[in-house]
Structure 1
Amino acid sequence: MTSSPPTGVFVPVPTFFKPASASNSLQPQVDVDTQVKHSIHLAKNGIRGLVLLGSTGEAIHMSKQERFDLVSGVRKGLNDAGYPDYPIMAGVLINSVDEVLEWLQDFKKAGVQWGLVLAPGYFGAAANQENIREWYTVVADHSPIPILIYNYPGVTNNVMVTPETYNILAQHPNIVGCKMSHGNVSYHVQVSLDPEIDHNKFRVFSGFGQQLGPIVFFGAAGVIDGLAAMYPKTVSRLMNLSEKRPIEPKVHEEIQALQYAVSTAEEYIGKWGIVGIKEGVYRVLGMGTLEGGRLPLKGKLPDGSDKSRPYYGARIVLTCETRSPPNAI
């Protein structure tokens, strides 16, 4: 039987690069050691799985060999740290079916369990739902590992995968879930509650932690959330409480407080994106650099940005982080 990802919080981890001054190349070199260190930290603090080389992971800025070395390095590092078979998805961010399958073959060799395959959106305005379904079916038919549908309209010319398309593709034995990185909560709920979908096999994840409580209450599997890259215990606790049944009044009050803190802090992620996540990880965990990603994502936050409401929202979460054990209920 095809394996499905577990429920819970996954982190779309940023890819760490060495300082430009330490790299003898056109671009900063990948820092696999820091990548492993961060991955182990997440595994120790309640995160149920990783997404490597997704949009946050800048896979499109990396070579084939760099992608393989990063993924295989993280897998080995987790195994050596006592986390064998720790759940890892890897992002596939291109449109050519042949290249998608090449990436998936490489990821299987590197030790990945699932491919998170971005909807083909270069010609987004011309991509009707029938063709999207055929594209994913061809990929799933030939993929060496199970795949999830990744719908991120912000990077695919506003392509939206509809609930009907999810319903149809969820029946494919090699398609085991989806990530919706958009604000249409109705789509999350429709797909999560669709009685024609086997939800033990097809898992629905949001890309936004600010949707965690509401969508998990209505059957979603969890979130793939950037804030958890720096505050894993808090987001994991919100997940653990939200999936608990029945929800007692005191638990409900804590869910509300945590969701408020997480939603407020998520404004920081929404405002500053990948550069903000990297700087947040550096500020909170002391990992990485303040140089941002590869061009055109090089740089740090402007001076004074820590006075903004989103940053202070992150401070609220830090208070929760220091007092909340990751798996306590």
Structure 2
Amino acid sequence: MTSPSPALVPEPGVYVPTVTFFKPSTSSSARQAPLEIATQCLHSVHLAKNGIRGLVLMGSTGEAIHLSRTERFELLSGVREGLTEAGFPDYPIIAGVLTNSVDEALEWLGDAKEAGAQWGLVLAPGYFGGVANQENLLEWYTLVADASPIPILLYDALDLVEFKALITEIRRYNYPGVTNNIMIGLETYTALAAHPNIVGCKMSHGNVSHHLQVSLDPAIDHSNFRVFSGFGQQLGPIVLFGAAGVIDGLAAIYPATVARLFELSAKRPVEPEALKEIQKLQFVVSRAEEKLGKWGIVGIKEGIYRVLNFGNMEGGRLPLKGSLPEGEWSSWNVAMDSMMEIEKTLQQ
């Protein structure tokens, strides 16, 4: 019997959880603003040209739950076509999978493969919160991975019970709500990392210890299981200790700067001059992330429009429609001006 081919593993680097662009609401009589795939492609190509290793489309930031099955497919396949036409035919695309049903998760994954995505980022099924214990999580992910037509990454969120001190700030810019505060345990990670069709994870929480323990676990084959953070604030520290990179929203606005921070942090050995630059960049990135993160999708979309002139300032689909309060963006000047100064020296 022929052994199955090894699963494709995402390369280390900075990935962007892209927003989904919509046309202005005044452009259509439809109930909701239609997709703007042309702008989606232009932004994707800009990221590809400026150091971003790959895209996460239709994740939480991409509002997948606000789109129909047809729209999700059109967006994924449209971006794949746009990247190919721009000279990036095999550019990495990870498709978000945000559903609690095993069969529906497999439906999303099948559609993602057909549309041209190489991986699926599968959110932990958190509708029933704490009822979904670690044994059930292990079985759920195993069933999905066994039948998925593409390799998958695990998508984790914050355990608010264990980290009560972080609740106020983290709830503003993280995604504990999308998994109802469920968290994949360390032993569960170790078990799932051994599955041949599970090739990594995104940890969207502030627990650096968990990032490091999974990244350094000697029981995990790290050439076949990549650990990514959802926080650019953690990029330097976690990459220096074995993580594969970040899936970071700030990089949607300032891709070259975040990519440069990764490049320096991943290089071995870390020379003294490089460490100084890492420290400088990490401070600037962390400061900007704190500002941007308070407003999540709305803040990222407005930042993309103001800095890169892609999209508009109408926010997402309901209930995420709207822009930042008057004067909010200008209050970020110290952080964002520092990012822009660096970005201009690096951008292609």
- Give the TM bin, normalised by the shorter chain: over 0.9
**In structure 1, what is the equivalent of residue 18 of structure 2?**
13
Indicate the SS of the match to 1:198: coil
CA distance in 2, matches of 1:145, 1:74: 18
Asked if the contact 1:97–1:139 (Cα under 8 Å) also holds between the matched residues in 2, the reply is: yes
CA distance in 2, matches of 1:47, 1:9: 5
The alpha carbon displacement at 1:55 in A equals 0.4
For 1:263, which of 277, 286, 296 is the aligned residue?
Answer: 286
CA distance in 1, matches of 2:60, 2:151: 19
The alpha carbon displacement at 1:24 in A equals 2.3
**Equivalent position amino acid for 1:147 in 2:** I
Q: Does residue 47 in structure 1 map to residue 70 in structure 2? A: no
CA displacement, residues 91-142 of structure 1 (integer Å, 9 cap, x when unaligned): 0001011100000000000000000000000001211101000000000000
Q: Which runs of 4+ in 1 moved over 3 A?
A: none
**Equivalent position amino acid for 1:290 in 2:** M
For structure 1, the residue ranges without an aligned partner over 5 or more in a row are: none
Q: How is 1:243-254 mapped onto 2 (pairs within 5 angstroms)?
A: 243-254=266-277
The alpha carbon displacement at 1:286 in A equals 0.2
For 2:205, which of 179, 182, 188 is the aligned residue?
Answer: 182
**In structure 1, what is the equivalent of residue 156 of structure 2?**
151
**In structure 2, what is the equivalent of residue 81 of structure 1?**
86
**In structure 1, what is the equivalent of residue 309 of structure 2?**
286
Indicate the SS of the match to 2:246: strand
**In structure 2, what is the equivalent of residue 316 of structure 1?**
338
**Equivalent position amino acid for 1:5 in 2:** P
Indicate the SS of the match to 1:220: coil
**Equivalent position amino acid for 1:57 in 2:** G
CA distance in 2, matches of 1:209, 1:245: 20
Q: How is 1:296-315 mapped onto 2 (pairs within 5 angstroms)?
A: 296-308=319-331, 310-315=332-337
CA distance in 2, matches of 1:146, 1:206: 18
**In structure 2, what is the equivalent of residue 122 of structure 1?**
127
**Equivalent position amino acid for 2:345 in 1:** R
Q: Does residue 134 in structure 1 map to residue 139 in structure 2? A: yes
**In structure 2, what is the equivalent of residue 214 of structure 1?**
237
**Equivalent position amino acid for 1:6 in 2:** E
* Count of residue pairs brought into register by the alignment: 325
CA distance in 2, matches of 1:53, 1:232: 19
CA distance in 1, matches of 2:30, 2:342: 41
The alpha carbon displacement at 1:325 in A equals 5.3
CA distance in 1, matches of 2:222, 2:242: 8
For 1:194, which of 175, 192, 217 is the aligned residue?
Answer: 217
- Structure 2 vs 1, CA of residues 311 and 136 (structure 1 numbering), >3 Å: closer, same or farther? farther
For 1:203, which of 218, 226, 235 is the aligned residue?
Answer: 226
CA displacement, residues 182-217 of structure 1 (integer Å, 9 cap, x when unaligned): 000000000000011110110000000000000000
The alpha carbon displacement at 1:315 in A equals 1.7
Q: How is 1:163-178 mapped onto 2 (pairs within 5 angstroms)?
A: 163-178=186-201
CA distance in 2, matches of 1:14, 1:138: 29
**TM-score for the superposition, normalised by structure 2:** 0.92
**Equivalent position amino acid for 2:40 in 1:** Q
**In structure 2, what is the equivalent of residue 108 of structure 1?**
113
Q: Which has the larger displacement, 314-323 or 204-213? A: 314-323
Asked if the contact 1:268–1:311 (Cα under 8 Å) also holds between the matched residues in 2, the reply is: no
CA distance in 1, matches of 2:307, 2:232: 18
Asked if the contact 1:210–1:263 (Cα under 8 Å) also holds between the matched residues in 2, the reply is: yes
**In structure 1, what is the equivalent of residue 163 of structure 2?**
none
**Equivalent position amino acid for 2:131 in 1:** A
